[in-house]
């Protein structure tokens, strides 16, 4: 009897889901092909069939996180026509406000640390940063905000700082506090009384 055919896309997706859990729980140090194989209950050879190197493995995991992020943003933006509201939606998705976003940000941060020493990974991350800045700047410009590019950089930097405070539990600072700071910043940019 011949073995059942393997659904390669399903197997890669399953390995990626396990990898994201491994990176979230153990960081990049714990995310080896061997650790992934053990966590997925498969052989090292099975993992290497889909991911030849650790960088390839991590790049795929990062792309998965990015695809999930884009999907969440697209769903949340359905029916949103106000540029300010769209900016808030996009920026909120980069804050660790719930377990899925905490996991995504932890994995993306681990990828970013690895990218500091890998030109190929750095190029991918750089392209994503430029794309995000362009999206946010475009929304600011559509809303008639002066210096849209500068405001986009400032807003993204604010979100990065808020993310750090949330991830490390700085002085009881929580998700509601982060959203309030983001809202206050947007109110200032848009010249709203607050």
Q: What is the pLDDT of residue 2?
A: 54
**C-alpha–C-alpha distance, residues 8 and 49, integer Å:** 10
Q: pLDDT for 86-143, tens place per residue? A: 999 999 999 999 998 998 898 888 888 888 998 888 998 999 999 999 999 999 999 9
Q: What's the farthest any 2 CA atoms get from each other in the chain?
A: 74
Select from 86, 25, 79, 33 the least CA-distant residue to 55. 33
**C-alpha–C-alpha distance, residues 76 and 101, integer Å:** 14
Whether the CB-CB separation of 143 and 190 falls below 8 Å is answered with yes
Instruction: Assign domain 80-189 one CATH number from 1.10.357.10, 3.40.1110.10, 3.40.50.10470, 2.60.120.260.
Output: 1.10.357.10
Q: pLDDT for 7-46, tens place per residue? A: 778 888 888 889 888 888 887 778 888 888 999 899 889 8
**Residue 181: both structure tokens together:** 């700071």
């Amino acid at each position: 009897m011949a073995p059942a055919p393997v659904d390669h896309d399903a197997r890669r997706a399953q390995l990626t889901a396990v990898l994201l859990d491994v990176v979230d729980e153990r960081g990049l140090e714990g995310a080896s092909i061997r650790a992934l194989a053990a966590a997925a209950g498969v052989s090292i050879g099975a993992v290497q069939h889909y991911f030849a190197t650790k960088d390839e493995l991590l790049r795929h995991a990062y792309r998965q996180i990015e695809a999930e992020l884009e999907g969440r943003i697209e769903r949340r933006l359905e029916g949103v026509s106000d540029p300010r509201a769209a900016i808030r939606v996009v920026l909120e998705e980069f804050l660790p406000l719930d377990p899925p976003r905490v996991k995504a940000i932890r994995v993306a941060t681990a990828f970013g640390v690895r990218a500091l020493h890998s030109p190929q990974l750095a190029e991918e991350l750089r392209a994503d940063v430029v794309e995000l800045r362009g999206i946010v700047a475009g929304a600011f410009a559509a809303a008639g905000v002066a210096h849209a590019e500068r405001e986009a950089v400032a807003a993204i930097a604010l979100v990065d700082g808020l993310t750090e405070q949330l991830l490390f539990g700085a002085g009881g600072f929580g998700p509601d506090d982060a959203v309030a700071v983001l809202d206050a910043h947007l109110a200032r940019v848009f010249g709203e009384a607050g």
